Structures are given as structure tokens and as C-alpha cells.
Amino acid sequence: MTGSNPSPSSPGFLRTLLRALGYLRPYRRLSIAAYLALLCSTGLALLVPQLIRATVDRGIRGDDLAALRLAVLGILGVTLIKGVLSFLLGRWTEIASQGVAYDLRNALYRKLSALSFSYHDRAQVGQLLSRAIQDVDRIRFMTGRALLRLAEGLVLLIGAALFLAFMNPSLTLLSLWTMPLMAYWALRFSRRFRPLTLAVQQQLAVLTTRLEQNLRGARVVKAFAQEPAEIGRFDAQNDRWFDLSATAARLQALNLPLLDLIANLGSVFIIWYGGRLVMADRLTLGELVAFSTYMGLLIQPVRRLGMILPNLATAVAAGERVFEILDAESEVKDAADAYPLPPVAGHVRFEHVSFAYFGRNKVLDDISFEARPGQVIALLGPTGSGKSSIINLIPRFYDPTAGRITIDGHDIRRVQLSSLRDQIGIVLQETTLFATTIRENIAFGRPGAGEAEIIAAAQAAQAHDFIMETPHGYDTYVGERGVTLSGGQKQRIAIARALLKDPRILILDDATSSVDSDTERQIQLALERLMAGRTSFIIAQRLSTLRLADLILVLDRGQIVARGTHADLLRTSELYVQIYERQLRMPVGTEEGEVSR
């Protein structure tokens, strides 16, 4: 959100500005109509002082009541038409600029869902959100009201100058000098004021974070009796916030009334100098009033000009951040000649596959193995040995840096992504459920699934019973607005979700945090059903899973150091035995668990 604004003279500025304005193209008819309406309404606004002049000179001073009434009616009529026009142009610009925001957000969403895991690994959700919300809003403001005000100000300024010059050139020159001064001062003020408001906002964010930390850590704060220190820290940030805000407020208090003062001194000058002209009969009183009215028309737009110009710079900076996302290249995408993957049997081959995240440290080194249709492949190894990387490569969340992966003989880089992922079911380590109903969460991979299918999947995943115990069964909301599910429950819903998809290939990162034994057994049951008849890849945490496996791959530092069945490996692999003893037999209570099973 911060970042320095690009200077208007930098080469990218104009390009970004034009690109942002390019989003108005679908709304060009509306925009053109709006600007035409603006031209008309500004023209009408410029007519009003002339009508007032007529009222004063011909009506009041010329003692012509009919002319006076005609002029007054004229003023009312003009105002009415101007009102209708400004309604139309306001609405049209709003439709166009809201449309720009809508299109941009949709484009961002599409892009973000096309970008591969490696992009999302590095991007922060908060950052992306701020671009899609605040930055897009800045662009919307620029393509809408800001541009409109800018045009309005310019048209008014030029029009008023022409009318004034027509009435009295010397008075025009002598009275319009306040306008550039006002514009300059407004610009100068917002240049100084903007960074200050940014600083105030940031400081408020710091203060909020301090408070949030304190509240989240309340237990620790109390347990260590650190309330006074916490108060000290909060006060320091609070005082800083006050100082910054007070500086900003002082700047505002001194400068905003100053703009009025400049404008007002300009009108005093008109009265004095214009009054002299009237006395010398070189100007009528009506013209003097008209002069003053023109000045009044100009004050607001000119003030706004000064405020809007910095907005333009902010909007361009926002545009750069938004386009940065739109221009990002996905590291994983369909090849130009990609074909849909036909229904597969599930024969997966890794051929000399190497992989490194972000092209840096190698996490997989020359991995080759084969999974025949229906086989269960278990992956085992210490943290960081490359287990997760192997399973991430199969649905092409990332592409290998060397070697290739085939499914039923098809190189997965040659087939269409969606056709590949449609045939793979995945239960990830961190179970993400969406804030919607349980039903929709289970049907996530197959939105059209019928009620019976959903229930069948939930039953197979041992989830049906606890779902029925929730307040609204399958229609219960999960997440913030609904029920909170335990880790084990979430995992079973994720299993149901994968089951419903009925995939040929199954990927399972099974690192359950400790759950009680009943749940444990239920998950085990669900998993066994899930794997039946599919090619399955499992990061194994349970002995029972290892026993089921047709092939166990023991990984260490990115390489397969041993492979075989449980019985084979117990005899042949020292690392396997070591892991088996420490990881699979030791954890809480499992020590004699085997005996009791």
C-alpha cells in the first residue's frame, strides 16, 4: 500500500496511466456521453452570471420588471436543465468507473487463480487483497470522478476567462491572478499533507498491531506480569500517533482556510477595482456582480484541481501494482498444443525427476520410480527430505526442473491442466474448508453432485455421523459464521471431498495432529476405503498405512535411499528401521499400542 509514487515525468507514468484509462474502453459510449453532458452543463453554468448581469443592469437599474422576471425565470430554467445534466453525467461516469473496478477485480481474480503454487508461495494474501481492493478503488476514482473534475475545472476556467475577457479584459487579468495562486497552494498543501496522512495511517496500523498482539498474548502478558511494560509500549506508539495526527491537523487548519482567504481577497480586489470602473462608467454594476459570480464559480474547481493532481500520481502507482499481478507469468500453464488427458488407469512414472523451489536449492535429485494402477505408494523420510515435493509434482502444482512425469504414458506437461487435476483427488496436510455449508464443501470438486452421492461420500469418510449431529446437518455452515470443527473432523470432510470426486489417482498428505483413539481409528478406516482401487501416494504417519503399501519409498535429502515393502525394508534399510522405531512406535501412548490393537 505504501511505496513511493512515480513522478509524472517518469517514462512508465504515461504508459500506466493510458493502460488504466484503457479499461474505460467497454464504456466508451457512456463516457463520451458523460463528457458531452459535462460540456453542456458547464456551458450553462457559465451562462448564469450573464443572466444575473441582465437582471441587475436591465431589470433593476433599467427599471424593466419584465426583463427582470424573464432573466430570473431563465436562471431557474438553466439550473433545472443543468441539474438534469449533472445527474446524468454523474450516473454515467459512476457506471463507467464502477465498471472499470468490476472488470479489474474480475481480471485480477482470474489471473490469481491461474497463477501456480510458486506464485502463491511468495505472495502474501494481505498484499494481494490490498491491491484488489484499495488499489483498484484508486484507479476507479481516477477513471471516474477525478478525471471528470479535472475536465470540469479546465472547461470552467477557460470558459470563465473568455466570458470575463469579453466583458472587461483588464479586470479579468487583475482578478484571475488568484486562481493560479490558489491552485499552486492547494497542490503544495496536498503534497505535504498526503505523506503525513499516510504516516498517520501507518502509525494507526502499528498501534492496532500492538493492541492485537497484546490481546492475543493476554495469557502470556499476565503470566509474566508484564502489564506495565505493555502499557509503556502502547503509550509510546499512542503518543507517536498523536504527534503525527496533530501535525497533520495543524497543517490542515492553517492551509485550508488560507485557500478561502486567497479567493476572498480576490473578490475584495474586484469590488475595489471594479467599483472604481463602475464609477468611471467603464463597467456596469451588473457586470461587476457577474464578475464576482464567475469568480465564485471557479473557486471550488480550482481548489479541487490542486487536490486531484496528487491523486493522479497515487492512482498511477496503484495501477502499477495492479498491473504487476496481471502481467505475472504463471510458471505452470497449459502448453500451446495441450490436449485433454483421456481417462487414465493410473500408471504413474517418475523419470529422473529433479526439482528446486524458485530455482534455488535442489529438493529432489534424480527421482525415478513407477506406480502401477491401483498400487499404494507410501513416502517416508525426515522433515525436508522431499516427500511433499514429490506429491506436489503429480498434479503439476510445480513443474520439475529436470526429468519428466508420465501418467499412462502421457507427459503431464503436454496435457491440459484441468483434465489432469480432474482425475486426481487430494487431501492436503492443512485442511482448508470454505466458509459455506458442509454440503458445498464436500461437493466442492463436483458441484453438480446429488444428495445421495454426497451422503455416500460422507459415510465412506466416517463423517456422516458427526455431520448429522451438527445443528443443520449438511446445511450447517463451517467457519466464522458457523460451527467450529476439530482437526479430525475437518480431515474427514476433506477425505469425503476427495472421495466424491472418485479420482483415479489419490494424493494424501496424512499428518494428523494428535486426535483421540476413536477418531484415529475412524480416519484410518476412511483412508482405507478411499485408497481402494486407486493409485495412491501417501505421506505416511501410521504404521498401518505402511503395512498396506505396495511400495515404500524412503527419502533422505531429496533422494530415494531405500525402497520396498515394510517387510523388505525392516531387513534392508537402517534409516527405515530408525524412523520406524522413533517416529512410528514412540509417540504418546503408541508405545504399547501395537500390542493392544
Q: Which is nearer to another protein, 352 or 358 (CB)?
A: 358
**CB 190 to another protein: min, Å:** 16
**CB 77 to another protein: min, Å:** 10
Provide the grid cell at 511. 499428518
Please tell me the count of residues contacting another protein according to CB under 8 A: 148
- Is residue 258 within 8 Å of residue 240, measured between CB atoms? no
Q: Which is nearer to another protein, 69 or 352 (CB)?
A: 69
Site for another protein in 37-56 (CB under 8 A): 48-49, 52, 55-56
Q: Which of 122, 215, 336, 337 touches another protein by CB under 8 A?
A: 215
Q: Which stretch binds another protein (CB under 8 A): 13-21, 23-31, 347-355, 426-434?
A: 426-434
Provide the grid cell at 401. 526442473
Provide the grid cell at 74. 431563465
Site for another protein in 191-210 (CB under 8 A): 204, 207-209
Q: Which is nearer to another protein, 453 or 550 (CB)?
A: 453
Site for another protein in 319-378 (CB under 8 A): none
Site for another protein in 114-153 (CB under 8 A): 114, 116-117, 120, 125, 128-129, 132-133
Site for another protein in 435-454 (CB under 8 A): 435, 444-445, 447
Q: Which stretch binds another protein (CB under 8 A): 162-170, 275-283, 308-316, 568-576?
A: 275-283
282 is a contact residue toward another protein (CB under 8 A) = no
Q: Which stretch binds another protein (CB under 8 A): 102-110, 359-367, 457-465, 543-551?
A: 102-110
Provide the grid cell at 97. 468507473
- Is residue 506 within 8 Å of residue 534, measured between CB atoms? yes
Q: Which of 18, 271, 335, 532 touches another protein by CB under 8 A?
A: 271
Q: Which is nearer to another protein, 286 or 400 (CB)?
A: 286
Provide the grid cell at 516. 483421540
Q: Which residues, other chains included, contact 246 with Cβ-Cβ below 8 Å and sequence gap of 6+? A: none
Q: Which is nearer to another protein, 80 or 468 (CB)?
A: 80
* Helices vs. strands in the chain: H and E counts, helices first: 24, 10
Q: How many CA atoms lie within 13 A of 326 on its CB side?
A: 18
Q: Which residue, 397, 344, 399, is CA-closest to 372?
A: 344
Distance CA 139, CA 144 (A): 8
Which parts of 270-364 fold into alpha helices (H)? 275-279, 285-326
DSSP label at residue 432: -
What residue type is assigned to position 457 of the chain? Answer: A
596 is a contact residue toward another protein (CB under 8 A) = yes
Distance CA 211, CA 203 (A): 12
**CB 403 to another protein: min, Å:** 22
The residues with which 483 forms a beta bridge, in sequence order, are: 478
Q: Which of 197, 512, 559, 565 touches another protein by CB under 8 A?
A: 512
Provide the grid cell at 46. 457559465
- 3-state SS of 386-427 is CHHHHHHHCCCCCCCCEEEEEECCEECCCECHHHHHCCEEEE
What residue type is assigned to position 267 of the chain? Answer: S
Distance CA 396, CA 521 (A): 32
Q: Which is nearer to another protein, 34 or 548 (CB)?
A: 34
What residue type is assigned to position 544 of the chain? Answer: S
**CB 309 to another protein: min, Å:** 19
36 is a contact residue toward another protein (CB under 8 A) = no
x/- letters, 225..264, toward another protein (CB under 8 A): xxx-xxx--xx--xx-xx--xx--xx-xxx-xxxxxx-xx
Q: Which of 24, 34, 46, 112 touches another protein by CB under 8 A?
A: 112
Q: Which is nearer to another protein, 225 or 567 (CB)?
A: 225
Please give the radius of gyration of the chain, using alpha carbons only, rounded to the nearest integer.
36
Site for another protein in 300-329 (CB under 8 A): none
**Cα 121–Cα 507–Cα 336 angle in degrees, nearest 5:** 65
Q: Which of 40, 43, 47, 79 touches another protein by CB under 8 A?
A: 79
